[in-house]
Amino acid sequence: MPGRNHLFVPGPTNVPDRVLRAMHRASEDHRSSAFPALPKGIFEDLKKLFRTESGQAFVFPATGTGMWEASLVNTRSPGDRLLAPRYGQFSHLFIDCAQRLGLKVDVLQTPWGEGAPVERIEEALRADTAHSIAGVLVVHNETATGVTSDIAAVRRALDAAKHPALLYVDGVSSIGSLPFLMDEWGVDAAITGSQKGFMMPAGLGIVCMSPRALAAQSTAKCARVFFDFADQIKQNASGYFPYTPSIPLLYGLRESLDMLLEEGLENVYARHHRLAEGVRKAVTAWGLKLCAKESKWYSDTVSAVMTPAGYNAADVIDNAFKKYDLALGAGLSEVAGKLFRIGHLGDLNELMLMSAIAGAEMSMRDVGMDVAPGSGVAAAEEFWRKRAAQTKVKAAA
């Protein structure tokens, strides 16, 4: 098909030309005396992305799933008790990972479309007077439902209960796109991967650990080899890795960090919010609902759009792919067939995102849904016309 594919799954995201060019490199000696400058700069700048002074960043040839495992095996022992709300496919899989590592998880079942139930978390922690709960696992942005949880409020719940549990936060579809304040929120393990906000292919697992979490290594008895932070700490200090790093991906990460820091993190967050608001205007104009049940949970990186009864969202997605070369995200597990997702994170601007809105609108009409032609496009246009102009003036000022 001529023209380009329009990629609007919520990761992997578009890889900008700058990052593509940066990754296009010949192999080099990762033990040379020149090599350490690259990792050392990356570790320093990653801390800016995580908004931490005291945390330590690690980069593994892995993905977000690997970082769930790394954060747990380096801090926990088999049989340790954890607390975790489950409100979507990724919180489900984070819990599954912990259970398969031999940890016991008190699961707080929460309806899909809602965020972390802060009051219930506080209640469970207050009830644990013996402090046997060693950690709380929370997914900041549940990519399956387009729900962003309030991590500052989870921290307040821990503090209010005067509970010492470590706070493990999955920021796979938030870090580098949404405000993520590791130090301010008292996050002990901040987990992500390269293929979303970092605008890269999958292949790097990135995790940042607080001093308290790193101290837990000394008592953690879970078996660890590839993911052992101790090996990384020893080698990373001088800019090396305990095994062969993926050199093109490291150059890609260098470029991606440069791009994010050049734009300015506050501008990155504001752009994601503006783009998301335009998508939400379109969804309202279509007469449809988001999976996120309340506006406080609306995600600025992904919108999960519910299709009405009688319409299979998978048909909308497949038709959009075959007819318009548009990739929308599928409904996962419990919501399969009930929703399609528009990813709006990474290297994106208004007119790129307009192609997803137009394509989704065309595809919904193709499968017979009662959506007025041009309604979503018009709503987003009018919103972005006003907001984009303000941004330009602000940028020039």
Contact footprint for ligand PLP (CB under 6 A): 11, 63-65, 90, 139, 141, 143, 170, 172-173, 193, 202
Q: How far is the CB of 342 from ligand PLP (least distance, A)?
A: 14
Identify which of residues 59 and 362 has a Cβ nearer to ligand PLP in the complex. 59
Identify which of residues 173 and 177 has a Cβ nearer to ligand PLP in the complex. 173
Q: Alpha-carbon distance 8 to 13, whole Å?
A: 7
Identify which of residues 16 and 64 has a Cβ nearer to ligand PLP in the complex. 64
Q: How far is the CB of 90 from ligand PLP (least distance, A)?
A: 4
Q: How far is the CB of 141 from ligand PLP (least distance, A)?
A: 6
Of 304, 282, 279, residue with least CA distance to 375: 282
Q: Alpha-carbon distance 161 to 159, whole Å?
A: 5
Residues whose CB falls within 8 Å of the CB of residue 272, separated by 6 or more in sequence, listed in order: 177, 178, 300, 301, 344, 345
Q: Are 51 and 187 in contact (CB under 8 A)?
A: no
Q: Alpha-carbon distance 306 to 330, whole Å?
A: 11
Identify which of residues 91 and 319 has a Cβ nearer to ligand PLP in the complex. 91
- CA distances in angstroms from 53 to 48, 146, 209, 231, 379, listed in the order given: 8, 29, 11, 22, 42
Identify which of residues 55 and 201 has a Cβ nearer to ligand PLP in the complex. 201
Q: How far is the CB of 388 from ligand PLP (least distance, A)?
A: 28
Q: Are 182 and 208 in contact (CB under 8 A)?
A: yes
Q: How far is the CB of 195 from ligand PLP (least distance, A)?
A: 6
Q: How far is the CB of 365 from ligand PLP (least distance, A)?
A: 29
Sheet with 339-343, edge to edge strand ranges = 6-8, 326-330, 339-343, 302-306, 289-290
Q: Alpha-carbon distance 328 to 333, whole Å?
A: 16
Residue 210 amino acid letter:
S
Identify which of residues 143 and 307 has a Cβ nearer to ligand PLP in the complex. 143
Q: Alpha-carbon distance 301 to 343, whole Å?
A: 6
Token code pair at residue 216: 């837990």
Q: Give, to the nearest 10 degrees, the angle between helix 265-286 and helix 247-263.
A: 80
Q: Alpha-carbon distance 331 to 329, whole Å?
A: 7
Q: How far is the CB of 171 from ligand PLP (least distance, A)?
A: 8
Give me the residue whose beta carbon is nearest to ligand PLP. Answer: 64
Q: How far is the CB of 183 from ligand PLP (least distance, A)?
A: 21
Q: How far is the CB of 110 from ligand PLP (least distance, A)?
A: 15
Q: Are 108 and 138 in contact (CB under 8 A)?
A: no
Cis peptide before 36 (omega within 30 of 0): no
What is 315-327 written as a DSSP string?
HHHHHHHHHH-EE
Q: How far is the CB of 9 from ligand PLP (least distance, A)?
A: 9
Q: Are 101 and 222 in contact (CB under 8 A)?
A: yes
Identify which of residues 190 and 364 has a Cβ nearer to ligand PLP in the complex. 190
- CA distances in angstroms from 217 to 76, 226, 231, listed in the order given: 8, 15, 12
Identify which of residues 94 and 383 has a Cβ nearer to ligand PLP in the complex. 94
Query: CB count, 10 Å around CB of 341?
Result: 26
Identify which of residues 14 and 319 has a Cβ nearer to ligand PLP in the complex. 14
Residue with the two structure tokens 């820091």: 261
Identify which of residues 11 and 117 has a Cβ nearer to ligand PLP in the complex. 11
Q: How far is the CB of 88 from ligand PLP (least distance, A)?
A: 8
Identify which of residues 39 and 66 has a Cβ nearer to ligand PLP in the complex. 66
